[in-house]
Amino acid sequence: MSCFLIPMKKEVILLKFSMFQTNPLISLLFISVKKNNENELQEPFKISKYPILLMPNEYSVLCPNKSWLMNTFPKTKNITESNIPAMNNDEGKIVLLTHSAKIIDEIHYFENWHHNELIHYENVSLEKLRPTLINVSSNWSSASSVENYATPGYENSNFTELKNTTHNFELNHSVFTPNGDGYNDHLILQYNLSDVNWIGKIDVVNHFGETIHNMYSNILFGKKNSINWNGKLTNNTSIKPGIYALLINAYNTKTQKKIRKKLIFYVNGILE
């Protein structure tokens, strides 16, 4: 699998192969996808004359203008100057293929995946939080301001190691600060369930026990995974500092067992 990093001005894409490849020498092509019901692929862009050698857990950043990238982000490394398609700011689809047209990964991104406190998105990268998880909005966020809003050629600023857990539901950390600095910007819910038949509802409640946000109404959990939340409420505002709880109601469709769990967390910040 791979990890895309997409700034919204100059076209730059970061690759990370996080799973072992039988043959790590891969000739890659990028395909932009037309916005139609058939998802017809446009003319491929060959990113290099020769195959790019990527070993597991190594990074490579692709950009048509190496000088611009180095001047804008001096910490950049592992650059390959490449012919890649233009990417729209508001929305776009990018597909990564091998030389034999085998799809390795793809992403349908949206501008509103960025951190909602940002005033502008120019030269701000979208980062995948967990490279091995699926491409949904909760697994993407803006790069950290501490890293100058991009980490081209090295590990994403928002990457968080998950804990080994035997609990059915557990928070990775009980304090989070959704301010875009790259440190605990997301509340991470990990779960490890008995089988794949669990569905459920997740709400955020305040210290009065009032529901202030519905995270999921009818989620199919799967057996083991994690869920990221950036602190954005239904009304598109950010959660305020204070004490809250995740209220989880899960139901097993096969065994009819139920799990009801309340996980306390604290939002750090300055009260207005």
pLDDT per residue over 71-98, tens digit each?
888 888 888 888 777 777 788 888 887 7
| Ranges in the chain annotated CATH 2.60.40.4070 | 169-267
Looking at per-residue pLDDT, the higher value among 142 and 17 belongs to 142
pLDDT level of residue 264 (50, 70, 90 thresholds): very high
pLDDT per residue as tens digits for the range 171-184: 988 999 888 777 88
CATH architecture classification, 6-147: Sandwich (2.60)
Residues in contact with 257: Cβ distance below 8 Å, sequence separation at least 6, in sequence order: 251
* CATH no., domain 169-267: 2.60.40.4070
pLDDT per residue as tens digits for the range 57-75: 778 888 888 888 888 888 8
- Write down the pTM of the prediction: 0.64
pLDDT of residue 242: 93
Is the predicted pLDDT of residue 267 greater than 80, yes or no?
yes
pLDDT of residue 123: 83
pLDDT of residue 269: 75
Q: Picking from 5-14, 36-45, 135-144, which range would have the lowest pLDDT averaged per residue?
A: 5-14
Cα separation of 99 and 49, whole Å?
Answer: 11
Cα separation of 68 and 195, whole Å?
Answer: 49
Is the predicted pLDDT of residue 20 greater than 50, yes or no?
no
- Percent of the chain clearing pLDDT 90 (strictly above): 22
Mean pLDDT, rounded, for 159-163:
70
pLDDT level of residue 38 (50, 70, 90 thresholds): low
Mean pLDDT, rounded, for 19-28:
51
Is the predicted pLDDT of residue 8 greater than 50, yes or no?
no
Mean pLDDT, rounded, for 13-25:
58
pLDDT of residue 21: 47
What would the DSSP string read from start to end of 154-212?
A: S--TT--PPPP--SSEEES-SEE--SSSSSS-SEEEEEE-SSS-EEEEEEEE-TTS-EE
**What value does the mean pLDDT of the chain take?**
80
